[in-house]
Amino acid sequence: MDKKDSLAYFSQIDALIEQCRAPLVKKIQALVAIDSVESASLPGMPFGAGPAKALEQILADCRELGFATENLDNYVGFADYGEGEPTLAVLSHVDTVPFGSGWTCDPLSGLVKEGRIYGRGTYDDKGPALTSLFALWIVKQLGLRPRGKIRLIFGANEETGMQDMVWYLKHQPQPDMAFSPDAPFPVINGEKGILDITLSCQIPESDMVLSIMGKGLAKHVPDAAAARLQLTDSQQEALRAAIQAWPEADVFTLLPQEDGSLLLQARGISSPATSPEKGSNAISILLDLLGRMDFLPAQWEDFVQAYNRYLGYDYTGEALGCASEDALGATLTLNVGELHYEDGVAKLMLHIRYPVLADFSRIEGAFAAMCGETGWSYAITRHMPAHYYPADSPLVTTLMNIFQEETGLLEAEPKWMSGGTYARTLKNAVAFGPLFPGEPQRAHGPDEYVTIDSLLKAMRIYVRALIELGC
């Protein structure tokens, strides 16, 4: 159905949206109450009991509203309205990241306060998933029929690998077009490539460096790192002097251990790995300090100096030779998230987001060259290629027109983002809301919330999108 025809339904749509307010809040609270962080696989539950329970809950909500559903082995499920082709799909997910610390309310409570619903998944992505469900219910209440079918797809593994969509595509055909309500508005038609790389270096065990480690939360700049060292009195004196001369106070702590060694701790500032410039990497701080010492064993010295040369405080990839910026203005970011030393091997875990239109082979080539010079080795542990969908496509132009008309933001244009959504798993898909410009992004952090009025505003946009793209 074209825009002109959809306009005739506006007054009915507004009345039905207001009718959805109370049940939408109630269903979000019920879904948020399920802890759906991935856990150990169980028979028939590939991502653990929580994601499976959340998936069945939202499919039950779909059936309650009159839609036929199917659960594909607790990997992913879907609800259909209409039959045949073409298929317009809306992709959302019911799994969440771990709670983390810093909450002022129970992350499973679904607390409603000052027009907001608080809890893990309220914004990412349980609230938007249910908003799209009610949007489809409104289309049905209007008596409109899809040209083919409209399918709501609900995944259970978006946060930890998107293997749910791999499973879906093994058992179901690609939709003809799709959008994912799991991002900021307006249309996100470009998503950076995601790359996890492990660097390894063989270092013989020594009596001086007993252990070394640094670890951030998943996809975060590490705010703590430590090395356990066995030092002579003169070496301890040199280390204390270097700490004293450090330009910032309270960055390092030296703790005597029962075995006579010293635990050297470095403090950084955590931030999302997609914005490493907002943090301060404790691993880099620690190795910077150690690199200024002249008492490290030779192979540890080589490792530390190589780290400081190729990685250090650089989060752009310039030191490695893989810095890049594409025609969309997207740049590469690099974060060293973890460092471990055990059994004679030092391992660094890196997380990279590379530009939408970048040449991946150039990035991998930079690591190959660095390893050739240092004797290190690298292994790609995860690679999700960048995603781009043309800005002049009917899908993007239709969604952009709807957003501009609904918000009055006539200068808005399609955007790229560092984050990843299900859109990257399909050929003809983009991300589309529900976060409006100027609203804070609370996904993955403490006190995650979604504003009820904003969800209802997004629901109106989604109703129009379903009508104009699918009916």
Here the tokens at position 117 are 């619903």
Q: Cα dist. 25→383, 403, 406 in Å? A: 37, 24, 23
Q: What residue has token string 């489809």? A: 136
Instruction: Give the span between the Cα atoms of 400 and 377, in whole angstroms.
Output: 45
Cα–Cα nearest to 321, from 275, 371, 276, 282: 371
Those residues with Cβ within 8 angstroms of residue 48's Cβ, 6 or more apart along the chain or in another chain: 37, 38, 39, 40, 41, 42
Residue 158 among the catalytic residues: yes
| Exposed / middle / buried, residue 265 (Cβ in 10 Å: 0-12, 13-18, 19+) | middle
Task: Tell which residue, 393, 38, 441, 469, has the closest CA to residue 189.
Answer: 393
Identify whether 343 is a catalytic site residue: no
- Active site residue: 61, 125, 158, 448, which one? 158
H helix or E strand, kind and range, residue 341: strand 333-342
CA atoms within 13 A on the CB side of 104: 5
Q: Is 217 exposed, middle or buried (0-12, 13-18, 19+ CB in 10 A)?
A: middle
- Neighbouring C-beta atoms of residue 385, cutoff 10 Å: 13
Residues 437, 187: contact at Cβ < 8 Å?
no
Q: Which of 340, 334, 349 is nearest to 279 (CA)?
A: 334
Radius of gyration, CA atoms only, the chain:
25
* Residue 214 bridge partners (DSSP): 225, 339
If residue 189 lies in a helix (H) or strand (E), which one and from where to where?
strand 187-191
CA atoms within 13 A on the CB side of 37: 9
Measuring CA to CA, which residue among 163, 122, 165, 132 is closest to residue 36? 122
Catalytic residue among 80, 95, 164, 448: 95
**What does residue 162 show for φ and ψ, rounded to 5 degrees?**
60, 30
Active site residues: 95, 158
